[in-house]
Each structure stands twice: as C-alpha cells, then as structure tokens.
Structure 1
Amino acid sequence: MSWLERPRGRRGVLTAAAGLAAAAATPIGLPAAAHAAAPGAAPAAAPRPARPAAGQYANPVLWQDFADIDIIRVGDTYYYSASTMHYSPGAPILRSYDLVNWEFAGHSVPVLDFDAKYNLNGSRGYVRGIWASSLAYRPANRTFYWLGQIDFARSYVYTATSVEGPWSRLATLGTAYYDAGLLVDEDDTLYVAYGNTTLSVAQLSADGRSQVVSRQVFSTPSGIGTLEGSRFYKINGNYYIFVTRPANGQYVLKSTSGPWGPYELRQVLLDLPGPIPGGGVPHQGGLVQTQNGAWYYMAFVDAYPGGRVPVLAPVTWTGDGWPVLQLVNGAWGASYATPDLPPPPRQVEPMTGADTFPGPGLAPKWEWNHNPDNSKWSANNGLTLQTATVTYDLYAARNTLTHRIQGPTSTATIQLDYSGMRDGDRSGLALLRDASAWIGIKRDNGATRVVRIDGITMDTNWNTSNTGYEVAGASVSGGRIWLRATADIRPGNGRQVTFSYSTDGTRFTTLSPAFTLKNDWRFFMGYRFGIFNYATLGLGGAVRVERFELTAS
C-alpha cells in the first residue's frame, strides 16, 4: 500500500465502480454490501468487538498496526511480513502455529541503508522506506527471501536461512517492483508480480540477483480504478495474482496458461462491512493454506488512529478454481471457528508484557524512528539512551525507540532513571505520529520537572510545523520516575490518551489535559509509544529505562 492508494479510492467512485466491476468480471462469494466504512468516519462511541464463543477466534486476530500483509506457511509454522516505512529495523516478521496467536520473530531488513535520509541526521525519511513488500520461502536452498522496492527507484532482495536472522542483502535490482509479490514456482523459478493499475510479471535469474524478463500481463479496467498490492500464487496448476482496490476491495487474477497469462479477473469483495466497529473494509493481504488443506485470507482493516489491523477469514474454492470468502451475515465475520490444526509445539510469546532490556540487543518488538546512532545506546539489564541530537524537535531527535500500541486500549509504563540528564535535556514517553504529545522530564538550570508537552505537529510534507508547548508540569526530585500513557485506539474521532507519573511506582498522578489522537490516514502508520532522550543545549547526558510494561484493557 502506498500514498497512491487513497486518492484513487474516493468513496464517490465506489458505487459506480461496483456495477462496472460486476459487468467486467463475475463477483464471487456473496454480493458486495451497499456499505463503505470509510476510515475516520466512525462514531465517537464505537463499541468494542464481542468476545468469541468457545472453539472460535475473534477478529481482529491481532490488534496492532501490521499493514500490507504477506503470509506464508513453512511446514507447521506460519510467517507474516508487514510494512514499516521509516522505522528501523524494517519489515517485521511475525510467527504463529495456529494463524490466530502471533509473536515477533525478527526483521527482514536490518538497517535502512538505502539513503542518508533514513539516518535522521539533517534529513528525514518519514512515510518513505518500506512499503508493501513480499516474503517467500525457497525449499531448494531452504532460504527465506524478502523483496521490496524503495523510493520508486530500485528493489532489494534480502535472504536468511532463519527468520530470526541474520538477514543479508542478496541483490539490488534496477527495477522498482511496486507492491511486489514474490512467487517461488514448483520448478524453483522466481517470479515477481507488481504494479499499480498496469500489472506486470518479472522472472528473476536463478540466483535472484537480476531480472531475466518482465512483461505486462494485465491492465485494470477503468471502471474499477486502481489495483495494486500484488500477491502471486500457483495453486493446482493455475497462477493467481491477488490484488487490492484501495481501500475497499479485493480482486483476483487467474491464468490457466502460465505466469505470463492471459489473466481473467474476478471480484472477491467490495465495500464489505468489516469486523472492527468503526473500521474500514478488509483488504490487501494474502492467502495461505494450512497443513490440513484449509485456506484462509489475512487482510487488514483501516482502524485509525491505531493503524491498519489484521483480520482473518476462511476461504473455499469453486469447482473451476476461484476463491470464495466465507462471510457471516453478509459481512467479514467478527468470529469464526478456530482453524483445525495440530497442537502448537509451544505457546507464542505474548504481544503485551514487560521488558527489562536484558541485552545486548533489543527484542524484535522494538523499532527505532529511523536508523539509530548505535554509539548512543546500549542494553544490559536496562536500556541506556545517551543524547544523540541537539534539537527542540522530537521529530528530528535520533534514537527514539518505538513500540506498537495494543488495541482497543492499552497502557504503557516506563521506569526511568533520569539522574544522568544534563541541563537542556528532554526525556520521556511519547505518543508518536504526525501529531504527537509526551510526558517526561525537563532538566533546566539544575532543576527537574515532569511535564506534559502537546501540539507537536507535522505538515503534509512531513516537515515539523510545531515543536510543541507545555500544558502541565510539576517539580520532581530523586532521580527516578514512572511515566505512563493509556491510549484508546478504537477507530473513530476524539480518541484520547491520558498521561500520568509516579515517584514510587504505585501512586500515579494524572497530568491533564488528555491528548486527542489524530484520526487521519495520510501518515499511514498508526500511533506508537516512543521512548526518547534528546538535548537542547549539548550532548553528554543519558537516561536509563529500567523497565517497559504494556498492558491491554
């Protein structure tokens, strides 16, 4: 998914397009519902999803921001890759044994070394970087492959024999494979499906280091508009390219004559009510077959301010080889029967809980805002953050460490030793997006205060438009503080975050007012918790984060 996605998917076009699409290609599954749940249009009182019955799973299967899904199975294990844009390391990989419970496993892109702007050192790469990319497994050499394009300039291939890494760059390709889907064919040939509206297929060399040939295979009918987000499959001898119409539809192309087509188009869903109250239409994701032969479609739902959240539904197939999404009362189900799979070899690590940063590295649930300055941080039974930037601008400060927010509501608490701060330093816990706020410590003239900062904003070019202002504060001493943020990220306008602090870890004091989250889609990524430490006068100060804890509610 890219910023090209939304401008072509305006709601006013959808009704006419639905009729034209039906004429151009026979819809499969149930007819498209006459409903479009546009992101940002949710009522302020959107309810929480209902709990599933016994033997069922609830959607969303994971309420965190993991967009542009690619999902694969290797043996009895499922892997899920997602976009990260300017966050580093990039392209996280999740792991599951049942398609419902997921854990962090690693990242395909260890560092965003594509351009100097990703270092956040005089320039910035906000809303650039890693967009929709692809994860595949090659049985012939027992290797995982990640492929993605960066900045519309070129594509990169990374490989690893384990998803935990180490991952290394295999190739830089001169073609920008936009929204790529990588297919390892049964004969071990590597193919890439890609494009926006005009869709193409490329064949890569046997070693994956170069392109052999590329051909256009499909041109989207004007009545449909945009198709992108390719996922490429070979199923029962047929070739399929699974594509999305942003941000309200999903289509599939099928060829019975090989990877080069010709391809026939059918509609999978359009304007389908989703399972997240107040959220958008499920779209842009991938198909996966279980070891027991069942098929599932993992898509995401636009659920701002939290981001784009994954949902799961079973799929069946018609006798002539077309996928049919299984609906519940004409909608993507809020719950379905739990996949019939063998017992997992172990329980996955929960997405919530505490981290005391045992070191020497960071758990894969953490991602930096742009590439970090690795000389300015360390982890060893606590996270030490030295000041890495002299600035008054949170968006320009290096080494801000981010964590996704757990929905529908969750609380992040950090235990911070601020005794090593110097005059002019700022450190704390932020709600980070293109409109941000934080609670933390200001040290000025030898004194420390806990403060609430609001009004930190970006313009539409992702340049800082306001560095923020203090809305509340109090004097503190002792060198240690607990900082807390409780965030409501249910889709809708007016969702809020409350900030509080404690000097003993038990009694917390709220610093009002609450911060109202921005509910616009244009930044693409949802809000994150961010832990930061920057200087306004000179480098040399440091803080120690002794503990981070995320609890869901």
Structure 2
Amino acid sequence: MRPLLRLIPLLGLFLPAVASPAQHAAVNPRAATFTNPVLWEDYPDLDVFRVASVFYYSSSTFAYSPGAPVLQSYDLVNWTPVTHSVPRLNFGPQYDLPRGTPGGYVKGIWASTLRYRASNDQFYWYGCVESNKTYIWTGRINNNTNKWTWTPHPPIPTCYYDSGLLIDSDDTMYVAYGKTTIHVAQLSGDGLSQLRTQPVYTAPGNTYIEGSRMYRVNGTYYILVTQPAAAEWVLKSTSGSPFGPYEARVLVDRIQGPIADAGFAHQGGMVDTQEGQWHYVAFMDAYPGGRIPVVAPLRWDGDGWPEVVKDETGGWGRVYPYPVPVPTTSSSAGTETGKEVGVDAGMGRDEFTGGELSHHWEWNHNPDDAKWELVGGKEEGGGLVLRTASVTGDLFAARNTLTRRITGPRSSGTFRLDVSGMRDGDRAGAVLFRDQAAYIGVWKEGGNARIVMVNDLRLTEGTWTTASTGTVAATGPTVGNAQDVWLRIEADITPAFNTNTMRTTTFSYSFDGRTFTRLGKPFGMTNSWRYFSGYRYGVFNFATKALGGEVKVKSFET
C-alpha cells in the first residue's frame, strides 16, 4: 500500500550467478505442501520475478538503509536476503539524519520495482522518492564471488509512482505507474531515460488504485494494480500494444486470509515456475509485525484471465502444494504435513565476523560510517563496534541505530554488549523500534553505569517528528566496568490488526547469558498501519554530553 511476466528466452544470453547444481539438486519427493505465510517478516510492497531457477523478491524499506532488500528463493517459500538494491539512500541530506533537521521516517523507498535484463546481465531498480524524480540503481552479481555491486544513475525527472518494470521479449523496457490513472512509459535503450509516456487506464469513478506490476504473457500485456487495502485488479490489454487500451477484472477482493486478525491479501505480483505453473505473491497487513507475504497458485481461464486458486471455503488457502520440488539442503524445507513458517538463513546467532553486515540488518537512516566497524574474524571473537555518532537526548534523532525485522508470530532477540567503553552521558541498549518504542539499555552517569527500561518513545503521527523521548519506567542494577551485559527483547507480534487487542513485549537482562531478569512492565505495541513498517529489533549507542564513547556488540541471537 504506498503509500511476472514470462521471462524472455535466455538461451545464449548472460545469466546471473546462481548456486551450483550440487547445492540445490537434491530433492525430497515427500515434500508436498507449504503453509502460509511463507515468511513471517515485514517485507511489503513486493515485486517478484524469476531468472532461470532462481526467484527474486524486492521490497520497501522507507528510511532504513541500505534500502530495497532483495531476497532469493528456489521454491517461492523459503527466502533469504542476499543484497540491497540501494546500498545508501542518495535521495537527500535528510536521510543522513542531520541534527536539527527532520529525518526521513516514513519517507524514502515505497513501492519500487526490480527486474533482471539478460541482454546486458544487469538488474534494474527504479523508485520514485518524495519528488517528481525516479531514482535508478543497476546491479550485477560477480560470478566468482557471488557478491553484488550496485551503481547509481541520474534520476529520471518523472515520478513513476508505485511502478512496475517490464523488459519485453524484444528487450524494450516499459514502466507502468500511477494512481487512479495508470500510465505506461517507454524507456530508452539503456533504461536510463524516458522516450514517451501516456495514460492507459483510468479506474471507473476515479476509484483509487496503485501498486502497478506489468507483464507480458503469451503475447498479451497485463498490469496488476491494487485497490488498497483489500483488492487486486488485473488490467488486460485489448490490443497487441503495451499502451492498451486495457480492460479490468477483479483478481481478489476482501478474500479471507490464511491467518486470523490480519488484513486481506492484496498488492503483489505474478511469477511462473520453470514448469510453467503461475503463482500470485501478495502481502497481508499483520500489525504489529508489519506486512507479510503469502503465496497462492494461479490458473488461467479460456479468455486469458488469471484466477487465484482458493480453498474449499473460497478463501486464500493456508496450505497449498509446493510450487517446485523442495531442496533437502534447506533447513526449513517442507514435510508431508506442510511447512509452518518461512524461516530464512538469518535465524540463529550473529557474531559479526563476516567482514560485512549480513543483509538482515538495516540502519535507521544512512549511518555515519566513521562511527562503526566490524572488528576481527571468528578467531578474534568478532564483534560490531558502535561509537557514539550523535549528541542528543532523542533516540529517534540518533544516528547508527542498527535494526532487523522481527520473525513472527513470537520470537526473541538478545544482544550481548561490552559496555566498558561507554562515557559519561552515553546511552546504549536494545530497542523495540517503531514510531511507538521502548528499550532496555545502559545509562552511563559519571562513573556509574546502570540498567534501565525506557518506554513511551513516540513520533508524532503525520509529521513523524519526535513527540516524546521516553520515560524511565524501571531501573535495574549497576553494571561493572569489566562486565558484559545481555539484553533481551521478547516480542509477540501475533497479528491484531483492526482489533482492540494490544500485543506486548518484555525486556530482560543477564550478566552471564543464561539467567535473565525481567525489567519493567510489558510494553504494549501499536497496531496502527500509518507508520507502514512493523516493529524491529535494534541496537544503539548515542551520547547526551559528548562524543567519544563506544560499545562492542559481541553477538545477536534470535
């Protein structure tokens, strides 16, 4: 809510690097079904497509940096983040969170689009950000290292609002975009400028539609659009032209979802398997956790319209046949009775030893790169050093808060911190991050460091400026100068959307990593969609008096 096309033949053209057959050829023939949601994490405004046997999924990230994560899958069910299309938000100084100026919360990357172009072996990302400009990044995978590199380009001076990219069979590039009136633009040969654009469809009665995704299937052009936050329409060209005219049909409308107390499945994309089986991937509003993806098979009627395969009640099925055979090497592969929750490779323990942050992590805005570093490999113990990057009393205004999505419906996140490098006035800890937030942390005052639980941190809805810097709700023991401290957040993000139920989070600490003591009362999370992102785990360190202090994050475990 801002708020696939059959791929061209690849024979003889470049392909991006994919895992070797030895890694993914083993198939478990007993794996028959999967269970929705496929990934219980906040990945909204999705764009999904396939390159050979690999599926890719791009998502919104707003002000979080790096932006526009790309997830990879071999079966449409098990997903792992592999890169970000926008390594650093290059949309203006507000995304650097400068002191004394508004930040970019709830701005930045909304519904953008990503596709692979075989003719030059590049991925193209387009996103309209805050102005009449569409930003462009192109990316490539190094075949030897499987590392991605991304390059920015000058923006196109047109806002491709909620855009969907199509790379046609003749390699021509089109973008569908807009709200209520949908436009199609034809791009230049290099994809970096616009040749022409025109309106192709206006919704009857000026009904609000958005979230365009464009395809060509069997010679016919289609555009999927959403009527937020409950329906998805299919626009089908009545001519052989991507410029239409188009007629419309409803794909889903207020369809009952596979989990309780969540919104209706809508705003997504179509994708086919190598075997020619089509699926629709959509998201559901599942606050307080955010918007989570669900998958359903598609069939095509005799007139060339796609239809979602529903369950026996006429709803979105909780269990469907697996889209493709399931690799036995996947730790979350399905079984005869189905897969309960999509779990990616980020589950477990992170000791920050890989030389770079994993793609599960995103900063609250662009970080100050001079104020953080990864130190040492696994042999040296690893760790992430966070030096104070802001002097402020406001966590929302502090740079270098590192976040990651919470996995539902219930999970915990535990940070191990060495706080011996903190200085007078420093604040460090583990935060349940959103526009209504709380944290457990260490406050350094003079020569003493004490554990505190702070709640009632709030942004003002709409302007997204700070309304409250928080209140100390509970105070714990002092922390010895040579002690590590473990800070744990236990979050219940079971959907409670459009209900009066308030899910809660608890905070606790430990000095040995085994025995934890709860601090403060449970924190009630908001179910509001207006911040658009769900709650996240985060770790922070900022100064209230002077820069110079630091903490070392030795591990994170979930």
Residue 352 of structure 1, CA deviation: 1.1
Partner of 1:411: 412
- Deviation, 1:512, is 2.1
Q: Does 1:481 align with 2:485?
A: yes
Measure how far apart 1:158 and its partner are.
1.0
2:241 counterpart of 1:241: no
Q: 1:264 aligns with which of 233, 242, 247?
A: 247
* Post-superposition offset of 1:277: 1.1
1:374 paired to 2:355: no
Partners in 2 of 1:337 and 1:75 — Cα distance?
21
Whether 1:471 aligns to 2:466 is no
Partner of 2:81: 104
Task: Give distance in 2, aligned partners of 1:261 and 1:347.
Answer: 45
Q: CA deviation at 1:54?
A: 6.2
Q: Please show how residues 454-469 of structure 1 align to structure 2 within 5 Å.
A: 454-460=455-461, 461-469=463-471
Note the 1:8-27 alignment, pairs <5 A.
Answer: none
Cα distance in 2, alignment partners of residues 536 and 358 from structure 1: 30
The letter for the 2-side match of 1:143 is: Q
Is residue 2:188 matched to residue 1:205? yes
* Partner SS state of residue 167, structure 1: strand
2:208 equivalent in structure 1: 226
- What residue identity is the alignment partner of 1:339? P
Correspondence list, 1:50-89, <5 A: 55-89=32-66
Alignment of 1:16-55 (within 5 A): 55=32
Q: 2 CA distance for matches of 1:342 and 1:57?
A: 10
Aligned pairs for 1:363-512 (under 5 A) are 363-380=358-375, 381-460=382-461, 461-478=463-480, 479-492=483-496, 493-512=501-520
- 1:114 counterpart residue number: 91
For the structure 1 residues 315 and 107, does the alpha-carbon distance in structure 2 shift closer, same or farther, using more than 3 Å as the test?
same
1 CA distance for matches of 2:350 and 2:415?
A: 10
* Structure 2 letter corresponding to 1:66: Y
Q: Could you tell me how far 1:404 is from its partner in structure 2?
A: 0.2
Q: 1:265, 1:338 → 2: CA distance?
A: 30
Q: SS at 1:222's partner residue? A: helix
Paired residues, number: 500
**Counterpart of 2:323?**
339
Cα distance in structure 1, aligned partners of 2:208 and 2:217: 25
Q: How far apart are 1:449 and its partner, in Å? A: 0.7
Question: Aligned-pair distance for 1:346?
Answer: 6.4
Aligned twin of 1:159: 138
Please, which of 518, 521, 539 is the counterpart of residue 531 of structure 1? 539
Shift in Å, 1:360: 2.7
CA distance in 2, matches of 1:392, 1:264: 55
Partners of 1:185 and 1:354 in 2: CA distance: 42
Residue 341 of structure 2 is matched in structure 1 by none
Per-residue deviation, 1:340: 3.1
Evaluate the alpha carbon distance shift between residue 296 and residue 399 of structure 1 in structure 2; reply closer, same or farther with a 3 A threshold.
Answer: same
Deviation at 1:350, TM superposition (A): 1.9
Assess, with a 3 A threshold, how the Cα gap between structure 1 residues 196 and 253 changes in structure 2: closer, same or farther: same
Conserved 8 A contact 1:421-1:542: yes
Instruction: Give, in angstroms, the shift of residue 208 of structure 1.
Output: 1.0
Quote the Cα distance in structure 2 between the aligned partners of 1:222 and 1:60.
34
Alignment partner, residue 338 of structure 2: none
Change (3 A) 1:255 1:161: same
**What is the CA distance between 1:256 and its match in structure 2?**
3.8
Is the contact made by 1:158 and 1:171 (CA closer than 8 Å) also made in structure 2? Answer: no
What is residue 362 of structure 1 aligned with on the other side?
A: 357
- Which string of whole-angstrom CA distances, capped at 9 and with x for unpartnered residues, describes residues 162-196 of structure 1? 28521111341000100000000000000000000
Q: How many angstroms apart in 1 are the aligned matches of 2:31 and 2:82?
A: 28
Amino acid paired to 1:532? F
Partner SS state of residue 293, structure 1: coil
The SS at the match of 1:161 is: strand
Instruction: Provide the rounded CA distance (Å) in 2 between the counterparts of 1:365 and 1:342.
Output: 23
State the Cα distance separating 1:344 from its structure 2 match.
7.2
Measure the CA separation in 2 of the matches of 1:368 and 1:153.
26
Q: Is the 8 A contact 1:88 1:371 kept in 2?
A: yes
* CA-CA distance at 1:347 after TM superposition: 6.1
Q: CA deviation at 1:491?
A: 1.3
3-state SS of 1:540 partner: coil
SS in 1 for 2:396: helix
Question: Shift in Å at residue 320 of structure 1?
Answer: 1.2
1:228–1:244 contact (8 Å) kept in structure 2: yes
The letter for the 2-side match of 1:287 is M
Q: For 1:177 and 1:170, how far apart are their aligned partners in 2?
A: 15
Shift, 1:319, TM fit: 1.2
| Distance in 2, Cα, partners of 1:249 & 1:351 | 32
Distance in structure 1 (CA, Å) of the matches to 2:437 and 2:72: 31
Q: 1:177 aligns with which of 160, 180, 183?
A: 160
Contact 2:35 2:319 in 1 (8 A): yes
Residues 85, 127 of structure 1: 8 Å contact kept: yes
Distance in 2 (CA, whole Å) between partners of 1:313 and 1:357 is: 36
How has the CA–CA distance of structure 1 residues 260 and 249 changed in structure 2, closer, same or farther, with 3 Å as cutoff? same
Establish whether residue 192 from structure 1 lines up as the match of residue 175 from structure 2. Answer: yes
Q: Which runs of 5+ in 1 are unaligned?
A: 4-52
CA distance in 2, matches of 1:357, 1:57: 32
2:205 aligned counterpart, secondary structure: coil
Structure 1 residue 335 displacement after superposition: 1.1
Whole-angstrom distance in 2 between the partners of 1:97 and 1:66:
18
Q: Specify the code of the residue in structure 2 equivalent to 1:155.
A: T
Structure 1 residue identity aligned to 2:425: G
1:46 aligned residue: none
Tell me the CA shift for residue 212 of structure 1.
0.2
Q: Is the partner of 1:87 in helix, strand or coil?
A: coil
Q: CA RMSD in A?
A: 1.4
Shift of 1:474: 1.6
CA distance in 1: counterparts of 2:261 and 2:63, whole angstroms: 27
- Does structure 1 residue 148 correspond to structure 2 residue 127? yes
Residue 2 of structure 2 contacts residue 211 of structure 2 at CA under 8 Å; is this kept in 1?
Answer: no
1:93 Cα offset (Å): 0.3
Post-superposition shift, 1:222?
1.3
Equivalences for residues 264-283 of structure 1 within 5 A? 264-283=247-266
Report whether the alignment pairs 1:330 with 2:314.
yes
Distance 1:526 1:138, change over 3 A: same
Matching residue's letter, 1:78:
F
Q: Which amino acid aligns with 2:87?
A: P
Query: Which blocks of at least 5 consecutive residues in structure 2 are unaligned?
Result: 4-29, 333-343, 376-381
Decide whether the 8 Å contact of 1:414 with 1:546 is kept in 2. Answer: yes
Who is 1:168 aligned against?
151
Q: How has the CA–CA distance of structure 1 residues 345 and 481 changed in structure 2, closer, same or farther, with 3 Å as cutoff?
A: closer
Summarize the Cα distance change of 1:321–1:164 in structure 2 as closer, same or farther, 3 Å threshold.
farther
* Cα offset, 1:343, TM superposition: 3.9
Determine helix, strand or coil for the equivalent of 1:206: coil
Code of the aligned partner of 1:307: G
User: How far off is 1:198 after superposition?
Assistant: 0.7
Q: Deviations over 1:95-114 (max 9, x none)?
A: 00011001011000010111
Aligned match of 1:540: 548
1:347/1:146 CA distance change after superposition, 3 Å: farther
State the distance in 2 between where 1:340 and 1:66 align.
22
For residue 94 of structure 2, give the secondary structure of its aligned residue in structure 1.
helix
Give the match for residue 91 of structure 1: 68
